[in-house]
Amino acid sequence: MYEYSIDNKNKKSLYDDLYNACEAITHGETDAVANMANVASLLWQYIPQLNWAGFYRIVDGALLLGPFQGKAACIHIPLDKGVCGAAASTGEPQCVEDVNQFAGHIACDAESVSELVAPIKSSNGNVIAVIDLDSPNKARFDEQDIDGIIRIAEMLGPRLSESA
């Protein structure tokens, strides 16, 4: 049984504790889907004001839905579409205050208003997946959220295979 003490009273503690929990639960596990599933669960459970938390994997030149928590989601996303596609194709995190103002936004859930997406890179620098967080609140994510999710994405990269 896994138990984590995660302090969500301030974001620095939240992301330090989340990083440690994600690191611990994925340590030594080589199955990418299992690792993504457990991390999606932790993100969903501990980051407040989310309506979706999960992963999209790069498969055959497009994003394919991976493990997540939340409402049913888009299954396939082209690399040139949406916030997830932008993060995957540029290799840079995307933080969007209002997805309705984002050109090419894909509305998988009409209740999502803001979105944070961080690319996950393999040890050779290729983007193999993205972490996607959605919120029903406008401008939900800030620099501390971006830094915290990037740190988790960087830790996960070597733990996910090229076939993630």
Residue 107: how many CB atoms within 10 A of its CB? 11
The alpha carbons of the chain give a radius of gyration, in whole angstroms, of 14
Residues of the chain with pLDDT under 50: 162-164
Phi, psi torsion values for 25, nearest 5 degrees? -75, -20
User: Rounded CA gap, 84 and 17, in Å?
Assistant: 25
Axis-axis angle for helices 11-26, 143-156 (nearest 10)? 10
Q: Is the model's pTM score more than 0.85? A: yes
Residue 2 is predicted with a pLDDT of 66
User: Rounded CA gap, 160 and 158, in Å?
Assistant: 6
Structure tokens at 109: 């859930």
Give the Cα-Cα-Cα angle 153, 155, 159 (nearest 5 degrees): 100
Structure tokens at 48: 């407040």
Q: Which residue has the tokens 């498969």?
A: 59
Q: Which residue has the tokens 């690792």?
A: 35
Residue 162 is predicted with a pLDDT of 45
Amino acid type, 154: E
Residue 154 is predicted with a pLDDT of 96
